[in-house]
Amino acid sequence: MLQPVPMPVGRPLVSAVTGTNGKTSVATATLQLLRAAGLRAAGCDSTGITDVHGAQRPAEFRRSAQYLPDLIAEQVALGAEAISLEAFVGILKDGLLTQVEVDVAVCTGLERDHLDVHGSLETYWGAKLRLFEEHLRPDGAAVLAADCAQGDLVRAAVARRGARLVTVGPGGDVELDDARELDAPRLRGRLRVGAERHDVVLPTVHGVAVTNLLLAASAVIALGGEPEVVAGALSEVAPPPGRLEVVGVRDGVTAMVDTAHNPAALRSALTAVRARTEGRLLLVVGAGGERDRAKRAPMGQIAAELADLVILTDDNPRREPAARIRAEVREGCPNCLEIPRRADAIRAAWEMARGGDVVLVAGKGDETVQLVGTRRVPHDDRVVLRELLARG
């Protein structure tokens, strides 16, 4: 049996998730499962702030150690018993969690990203590890996948803190047994929590999404949720927008978007989609400007390796020359097509697709603007795809 952490006195339970990819998926799933477990819960993640009544508003982070305590106090006044937080690297680096005690800390893995800000992987990963070394209660619990990227670093940080470690996946404290596919996109299996086993249906067949759900479930069980209740609620968990989101299907062609904007996330998304694609995988991808330039060629290489057709386009060039960004991505995929205007690139991919194919537009997910120079130009990959799907 996975033992819950000791109940805090005078404050709500707090779960926080960090990592390079998958944070929002885990944080939003944790919020939903906390509520299913019977707790009045609020959340703060990249989708915004969700109060205990389910109302949402944008998150406007201030670089103040008082920001999150004030937010938590606001939710406690509304009756919150638990809080689900997405611990962005900026929150950790800038000390926004200084006055917040975390009961359960989750890591989705440490990959390459944000070197334009942090300068080195060691500095970037070090900021992430502060969640486990400084903010997690010494008698709290850390949750990570058995195959977590840079898992040894996380385990060492947890050990230094003296906290308990909960592992997820094959051979771990929590794992999915006897998984088999139902009608797409669902899996049926048995959720093993220690020696207990509970029937479960997961609303996804994608490996990375399954892991994210198991991380969230483990966090909620560590916070005191009944395993049987949590297992039963997993089938109703809704993913955040823009994460391996199926926009629609027409004439056998599936249109999808994803937020993947670094090598690890792109590989994960393409691997997940490839496993579900009968025909060809057509990828529309770019890279952000004024960000880590060294990740661009590797992203191109991954695109060329895992997609049947790559259309290179602009992402958020910001104030960097868009042509230079594309050229650096193209070093990894010299045989790709290049269509700078993003909407035109999406249309071209759609027009080349045929029955059984998947068109995946990666990089922006649910974003509704494109950052060009200092302008915020209205653009939503999903809107472009919906227009194409609606054509008779």
Residue 4 lies in a domain: no
Residue whose tokens read 């606001």: 74
Cβ distance 135 to 101 under 8 Å?
yes
What angle (nearest 5°) sits at the alpha carbon of residue 113, between those of residues 110 and 115? 120
Residue 14 is classified by DSSP as: E
Residue 293 is classified by DSSP as: G
Instruction: Enumerate residue ranges in the chain where pLDDT < 70.
Output: 1, 112-119, 184, 392
- For 357, residues 6+ apart whose C-beta sits below 8 A from its C-beta are 252, 253, 254, 277, 279, 280, 281, 282
Are 188 and 311 in a shared domain?
no
Residue 98 is classified by DSSP as: T
Distance CA 384, CA 274 (A): 22
Q: What pLDDT score does 265 carry?
A: 92
Are 81 and 209 in a shared domain?
yes
Predicted model pTM: 0.91
In angstroms, the Cα distances linking 8 to 67, 98, 104, 197 are: 21, 17, 12, 28
Residue type at position 315: D
Which of 10, 19, 344 lies closest to 157, judged by CA? 19
Are 136 and 179 in a shared domain?
yes
Domains: count for the chain: 2
Distance CA 59, CA 215 (A): 24
CATH number at residue 202: 3.40.1190.10
Q: What pLDDT score does 112 carry?
A: 59
Are 82 and 191 in a shared domain?
yes
Residue 372 lies in a domain: yes
Q: What pLDDT score does 297 carry?
A: 97
Which is it for strands 253-258 and 281-285: parallel, antiparallel or unpaired?
unpaired
Residue 341 lies in a domain: yes
Q: What pLDDT score does 1 carry?
A: 60
Are 201 and 94 in a shared domain?
yes
Are 170 and 313 in a shared domain?
no
Are 295 and 349 in a shared domain?
yes
CATH number at residue 305: 3.90.190.20
Are 210 and 254 in a shared domain?
no
Residue 18 lies in a domain: yes
- Enclosing domain of residue 55: 13-236
Q: What pLDDT score does 122 carry?
A: 77
Question: Would you list the DSSP string of 123-139?
Answer: HHHHHHHHIIIIIEEEE
Cβ distance 48 to 85 under 8 Å?
no
